[in-house]
Structure 1
């Protein structure tokens, strides 16, 4: 396998990993916002 092929395979895997991580980060942010909203609504 030539280096260019290895490079593109690495880039593709990196993009896939970033896509998955982005969804996880968005989910975490949404969960945090919902928790804060619940605390604000019922905490007072």
Structure 2
């Protein structure tokens, strides 16, 4: 299923925070509820 906005907001807030913005550059952060891990 597609995620709801309230399920994704935690990742969005973290990426917009000072802690993440000073260390994360050019990364792909999958917010897929673990779906990509199950397809291995």
TM range (shorter): 0.3 to 0.5
- Return the structure number with greater helix share: 1
TM (norm. structure 2) is: 0.35
Which structure has the greater CA radius of gyration?
Answer: 1
Larger RCO (CA within 8 A; separation ≥ 6)? 2
TM (norm. structure 1) is: 0.33
